[in-house]
Structure 1
Amino acid sequence: MSVMTPTEFLGAVPIDGYGPGFFRVGGKVHRGAILVTPDGVQPWGGLDDPVPLLALKGSVDVLFIGMGSDVAFPPRELTAALEEAGVMPEPMSSASAARSYNVTLSEGRRVACALLPL
């Protein structure tokens, strides 16, 4: 299990840690794919579930997409729809996405993180 280093998040919910099949956000363990925003965490249906990601329109500028253990690219249709909605998708491994989310969140930026399990 990996544990994230605490920092100042101005009331937002950070990703505390992750491991095989789970993420710990705000001190609570969540299994499976999740969507993390400064307001909290919710289950996410994965790459075939674009609705909650597109609902971020106007509330975030960057969406880190954790693709699991390895770096991969989401479907082109999803990337195009997010860009059209004004949400910049940044695909990377889930571990990198969790760390990038916390750093960007600590900077006070409008960010969210969609994570597939490791």
Structure 2
Amino acid sequence: MRLNEIRNFDGPPIDGYGPGFFRVGGTVWQGGVFVTPSGVQGWTGFDDTAPLVEAAGDIDVLFIGTGADPEYLPAAFRTALEAVGLGLEPMASPPAARTYNVLLSEGRRVGVALLPV
């Protein structure tokens, strides 16, 4: 699916997604992805908390895209990220990507970690 283009981003927007991939700032990423205003990197899932914890000082809220459907976050994952002061918002990956884009376009300090659909 292609997302509508929004300008005035202070970081890389999520341009689109499909089965097993995300397009971020014009680059296709296979699998999961972690996006903040300062950059993009691959993300392997709920056991991969290190890059999310490192970004805690740069973002105020982190959207967690749980794939095609909304899912509960594992307790250990939630605890590790809340311990460093991150507000977590879990939802399915498509609405997480859209919400990230909207808040990023408003200049908010947001990040999104997305599992593929």
- Fold similarity call, TM over 0.5: yes
Q: Secondary structure at the match of 1:18?
A: strand
Distance in 2, matches of 1:54 and 1:45, equals 14
Match of 2:116 in 1: 117
**Distance in 2 separating the partners of 1:88 and 1:11:** 20
Could you state the TM-score of these two structures normalised by the residue count of structure 2? 0.95
Is 1:55 aligned with 2:54? yes
Partner of 2:27: 28
Contact 1:65 1:115 in 2 (8 A): yes
User: Hey, what's the Cα distance between the residues in 1 that align with 2:59 and 2:16?
Assistant: 22
Question: What residue in structure 2 maps to residue 3 of structure 1?
Answer: 2
Task: Work out whether residues 45 and 115 of structure 2, in 8 Å CA contact, stay in contact via their aligned partners in 1.
Answer: yes
The alpha carbon displacement at 1:18 in A equals: 0.3
Residue 56 of structure 1 contacts residue 87 of structure 1 at CA under 8 Å; is this kept in 2?
no
1:92: which partner in 2? 91
Q: Secondary structure at the match of 2:4?
A: coil
Q: Mean alpha-carbon deviation: is it higher for 91-100 or for 5-14?
A: 5-14
Report the CA distance between 1:8 and its aligned residue. Answer: 2.2
The residue type paired with residue 13 of structure 1 is P
Q: CA deviation at 1:10?
A: 3.5
> 4+ residue runs of structure 1 moved beyond 4 angstroms?
none
Tell me the SS of whatever aligns to 1:47: coil
5+ residue gaps, structure 1, are none
Structure 2 unmatched runs, 5+: none
Question: Would the aligned equivalents of 2:33 and 2:43 in 1 still touch at CA under 8 Å?
Answer: yes
What's the CA shift for 1:11? 3.8
Indicate the RMSD between aligned Cα atoms, in angstroms: 1.0
